[in-house]
A and B are shown apart, each in its own frame.
Chain A
Amino acid sequence: VSVLGVMPYAVAGWVFLIGVYGLATSRNLVHAVGCLAVTQSSTYVLLIAVGYRDGGTAPVFADIPVGRKVVDPVVQALALTDVVVGATVTALLLALVVQVDKRHGTLDPDELSELKG
């Protein structure tokens, strides 16, 4: 396996970890939800990397000759589903963040201290 072949996986791991770091140290809930979206984007990178074939083209069969090598269409379907799931989650969480701001008057997780013990 060449260095370039490993790169996409290393990038996926890196993106996941910076997302985790951001989540763990976040001082703002909008930022935290953003970081969650960052961790999720690592799954897009990983899925697309898994399906990559050397010399393959996009798996749109309408305008390519029969037998032409294509990248794996399954992971692309998975990534699309993943995007839909992510959009739903992010939208709902941001809506909750808006409500947190309205009811607590702050977006700093350090200042939310009602639920403890």
Chain B
Amino acid sequence: MSAVLLPLVVALPLLGAALLVTGGRKLPRVAADGLGTACAAATAVLTLTVRPGQEWVGGWHGVGIVLAGDRLGLGLAALVSVLVVAVLVYSWRYFEEPPRQYAGSFPALVLIFQAGMCGFALTGDLFNAFVFFELMGVVAYALTGYRVDEARAVQGALTFGIVNSFGGYATLLGIGLLYARTGELGMARIGRALATEGHGPDALVLCAFVLVMTGLLVKAAAVPFHFWLPDAHAVAPTPVCMLLSGVMVELGGYGVARVYWTVFAGPGGVPAADVRHALLTFGVLTALVGAVLCWQQRHLKRMLAFSTVGHTGLFLVGLATLSPEGLGGTAIYVLGHAGAKAALFACVGILLDRYGSVDEYELYRKARELPLVGVLFACGGLALGGLPPFGTALGKGVAEEAAGHAFGAALPALYVVVSAITGAAVLRAGARIFFGLGPRPIPSDEAPETPGEHEVPETAVLLRRVPATMLGVPIALLAGAVAVGTVPRLATAVGTAADRFTGQVIPSPPPGWTTPGVVLGILSAVAAMALATAAVRMPRRLGFLRWTTPLRRLHSGHVGDYIAWVVAGTALLALLVR
């Protein structure tokens, strides 16, 4: 289909949301959910069939708002849409209690979320990127605090909102500075204007770069911009977590890549060496902090949240190579990660709705009656650990090779270590909860931690039997993660997309399995299993790590602290690109 249809990718979910808001309360629940799912699915089909291209919305050629649907952006919009469909199917049985008179409210919010994320992926206009950034932000805050009667949920949503919107305003200041310099708002036109002016990177351009990146790095949850993420993920309803971790955070990284390559990559922008250096620093820091804190969690959603932080760090390292190989590998990694992480959240949701708890210690041995869910959970852990043939392993292999070429052999080691630790944390929890392995873990009373006991289930009553939708969705998502690794056409398409995105004229070799990639993938997966086994056997030695306490204390839940850290991160970024 021609690119003229690009605006529909944003308009269709918005239309669905409008229908649900106006007519939802008159519809029976099944019809409302069905309408929402149909709209999301139609958008997914559209993103997969529309031809890449540029479209001036409303025909205001040259002056209006431009949508630039390149292959990478369309691919991300497709990922968003497919995940939204999965989430809507998964939550078929969710939220029966509070807003009975507003049957359509949840699917309507999810559709607006979809529109915001798709718009952000497709926009070619920097100011509109800010608008879509805030649109997906606001809906995400509302969805995080969807259960308004829960103390923690509203607190997490508020923190999420204040920190993200603060980042958004920093971005807008940067956009204002760029407009002041160039008189343009289209990303490509700003890039061209900066290049033709030709007075190199001066203070104003650097300042604009730092401010624009601040908001995007907040969304991408790079350390030290990441503090909102674990708080939001720990309290958001499970289907929302699937979207937040699966794709919204990754969109922040996409924004970094998009803005760098379209706006700042030319002469008059920011020197590539500085950007590489800055992204690498943030990436390594994020990956290590995320992995260590993931290992220390007992609250399952918080554990998965920190694992997302760790993987985001690896994504940033992949972007830091500024090469089509690094970008392509990272894109495949993001696809595989979305499937695995969303499936893991789906499994945690089953635990929550059946036992009213997401606490590793409290759930010990309880879920032995759910072996299938246990196997799915373990598969998710192995996928995070980078086991071939999951897409995570393919993406990790390609990205770590690119990072190794660009920055030396320490970087592949970082990929292996972070994958192993985040995978091991999941495997450890799964072994205890679903298979009852090891002695009963004893909580430490010294650690500042968030336990996950006594959580309110998200279904009307505690589930007796796991509904087919809640079981089918994680299976489909994991199958998707395998498909990403095993369908060569998909990897080739991502490779082409990355070439176009980075302006590579001579096509680079398509990303695929290599011997070192497979070996390192198996290595990290085996290390994850070994680490998990050791932790289950020796809970005292490998449970509470005292040296992490200062780091954990920084995650205070205090919104003022988090804002101070965002400012510190901005200062660090400014120092790195100075």
Contacts and interface: CB of A to CB of B under 8 A. Distances in A.
Interface residues of A, number: 42
Given A40-B169, A89-B161, A96-B158, A109 B558 contact: yes
Interface string B131-145: 100100110011001
B131 A81 contact: yes
A89 B135 CA distance: 9
Contact of A25 (B177, B234, B235, B560): B560
Most buried by A among B142, B158, B553: B158
B557 A114 contact: yes
A78 B127 CA distance: 8
B425 to A, nearest CB: 14
Contacts of B353: none
A96 to B, nearest CB: 4
Interface string A56-91: 000000000000000000110010011001001100
A32 B154 contact: no
Contacts of B151: 100, 103-104, 114
A112 B162 CA distance: 15
Contacts of A115: 152, 155-156, 159, 230-231, 234-235, 450, 557
B435 interface: no
Contacts of A112: 155, 557-558
Nearest to B448: A117
Contact of B166 (A29, A39, A114): A39
Interface in A33-54: 33, 36, 39-40, 42-43, 46-47, 50
Given A24-B567, A109-B559, A115-B156, A33 B173 contact: no
A109 B449 CA distance: 18
Contacts of B127: 78, 81
Question: From DSSP, what is the main secondary structure of chain A's interface residues?
Answer: helix
Most buried by B among A25, A29, A85, A97: A85
B179 A109 contact: no
A13 to B, nearest CB: 9
B563 interface: yes
Interface in B131-190: 131, 134, 137-138, 141-142, 145, 148-152, 154-159, 161-162, 165-166, 169, 172-173, 176-177, 179-180, 185
B154 A46 contact: no
Contact of B563 (A20, A40, A96): A20
B556 A116 contact: yes
B214 to A, nearest CB: 12
A40 B563 CA distance: 14
Most buried by A among B165, B166, B179, B552: B165
Given A103-B150, A114-B155, A47 B162 contact: no
A5 to B, nearest CB: 12
B228 to A, nearest CB: 10
Interface string A8-37: 000010001000100111100100110010
B449 A117 contact: yes
B448 A116 contact: yes
B158 A100 contact: yes
Range of interface residues on B (Cβ < 8 Å): 35 or more
Interface in B546-578: 552-553, 555-561, 563-564, 567
A66 B69 CA distance: 38
Contact of A117 (B142, B173, B552): B552
B447 interface: yes
B262 interface: no
A88 B231 contact: no
Given A115-B450, A117-B296, A109 B173 contact: no
B154 A96 contact: yes
Interface of A: 12, 16, 20, 23-26, 29, 32-33, 36, 39-40, 42-43, 46-47, 50, 74-75, 78, 81-82, 85, 88-89, 92-93, 96-97, 99-100, 103-104, 109-110, 112-117
Interface of B: 127, 131, 134, 137-138, 141-142, 145, 148-152, 154-159, 161-162, 165-166, 169, 172-173, 176-177, 179-180, 185, 230-231, 234-235, 296-297, 447-450, 552-553, 555-561, 563-564, 567
8 contacts: A24-B564, A78-B127, A88-B138, A93-B165, A110-B558, A116-B552, A117-B449, A117-B553
Cβ-closest 6 pairs across A and B: A103-B151, A117-B449, A115-B557, A99-B154, A50-B180, A117-B448
Given A89-B138, A115-B235, 16 more contacts: A23-B166, A24-B567, A36-B162, A36-B165, A39-B166, A78-B127, A82-B172, A93-B158, A93-B165, A103-B151, A114-B450, A115-B159, A115-B234, A116-B450, A116-B552, A116-B555
